[in-house]
Structure formats: C-alpha cells, structure tokens
Copies of this chain bind each other. A is one copy, B any other.
Amino acid sequence: MRESSAAEARPYHHGDLRRALIDAASRLLEAEGPSALSLRAVAREAGVSPAAPYHHFKDKGELLEAVAQEGWTLLDKALASAKARAASPDKAINELGVAYVCFARENPAIYRVMYDTARDREDLPDQMKGDKDSAYCKVRDTLVEAGADPTDTLNIELATTAAWCSAHGLAEMAGFKQFEHLKEACGGEVPFLRAIFEHMGLVSHMTPE
C-alpha cells in the first residue's frame, strides 16, 4: 500500500497505465485539438477499455489536470533556458515574454488545457505561482535584476502580474490571421513579438529612470 506517494512507481497489469494515458492524451491533444479529445479516445489510443482510466483518474478533468501539470513543467524549462540565454538583465524580461509566447504557439493545445483547467478551479497551479523558483518568481526576479526596487513589494507584484497578463494575452491572440500583415512588416513572428513587448514597456515603469 505504498501507492499513496505522488506517482505510482510500477502498477500491476499494464506497466504504467497512468503514464501511458497522460502521454496518449498529450498526443491526441496536439493532433486533434482540445475540443476533440475524449476520454474514450485516450483509452483507445492506450489500448485499454473505456473504463480503465477511472482507476487512475477520478474523471476526465483529473486526467487533463495531469496533462496541464506536464505543460507547466515544460513552460518552466522553456523560460529557464530563455533567461539563461538573455544578454543583459534589462533585456531579459522581454526575452522571457517572447519565450512564453513561443511556447504557447508551439504547444497550442496543451497551453489551452493549462489555462482551462486552472480557470475551472479559479486557481493557478502552485507550480506557476507558489514555488520558490516558479515561472512567476522567475519573472519577478528578472524585474528586480533589471533595476526594480525590491523593497516595494506591491509595485513588484503589480509589475510581475502586468507582465504575465500581457504575455498571456499575446499568446492567445498571436494566432489570429488579422496580425499576419504586422508580422510580415516586422520581419517574422519573433520580431513582431519583440516589438509588441517593447510597446508594453514592462521595465521602464519599474526602474527609477
């Protein structure tokens, strides 16, 4: 009776059906889109009966939450490597933003699931907001490194929130074809994103000029 730990190490019949289901769901999700994903299809993809998933997840929502968790982990990695790549601290925020949007654009289905499950609970996962080196804290620390006053916590939190919301809004809208001509005028999608983030002026309001 040691399956109370976070992840069952070695289930019985299938090997690791929980893992297989999450993978199958991610696969179908990115292939068919979030609205087309059914629990039965996931079971089919994993080669088990339609009722099998219910021994590993309370319901469909819980499976999606597990998929979303994976997504937040991936996003965390993407942001970490973007921050490592950034040349100077005051350019790092916009680079984080670009990396954020690129992640969302490259994994549209999982990105959608991440926010859909979060909104259902009106609660962002700890992974994003709570942990010491979460994505949120990465943004906040970057703002401080860029010159924001670390003692003015309200202002820092507001700025971090502003940055996050901007990136999320851009991530959701960058796919609309109305912006195609703007992307071309900027010379590609990434330059377009950079230009938008510069317009948002996320740093200038934090530094004591």
Q: Which residues of A line the B interface, CB within 8 A?
A: 115, 118-119, 122-124, 129, 154, 157-159, 161-162, 164-173, 175-179, 182, 185-186, 195-202, 204-206
Highest count of chain B CB atoms <10 Å: which of A123, A170, A176, A186: A176
What is the bound-complex CA distance between A154 and B204, given in angstroms? 22
Chain B residue at minimum C-beta to C-beta distance from A171: B169
Contact (Cβ within 8 A) A195 B158: yes
Chain B residue at minimum C-beta to C-beta distance from A159: B199
What is the bound-complex CA distance between A178 and B135, given in angstroms? 14
Q: Give the residues in chain B near A162, CB-CB below 8 Å.
A: 166, 196-197, 199-200
The binding surface of chain A is classed by DSSP as helix
What is the bound-complex CA distance between A21 and B115, given in angstroms? 29
Q: Give the residues in chain B near A159, CB-CB below 8 Å.
A: 199
Chain B residue at minimum C-beta to C-beta distance from A112: B119
Contact (Cβ within 8 A) A165 B176: no
* A–B complex contacts, Cβ < 8 Å, 9 sampled: A118-B176, A158-B196, A166-B166, A168-B169, A169-B170, A172-B172, A200-B202, A201-B201, A201-B202
Chain B residue at minimum C-beta to C-beta distance from A198: B205
Q: How far is the CB of A126 from chain B (nearest CB, A)?
A: 10
B124, B175, B186, B204: the one contacting A201 at CB < 8 Å is B204
What is the bound-complex CA distance between A144 and B110, given in angstroms? 38
Q: How far is the CB of A176 from chain B (nearest CB, A)?
A: 5
B119, B158, B197: the one contacting A199 at CB < 8 Å is B158
Highest count of chain B CB atoms <10 Å: which of A159, A170, A171: A170
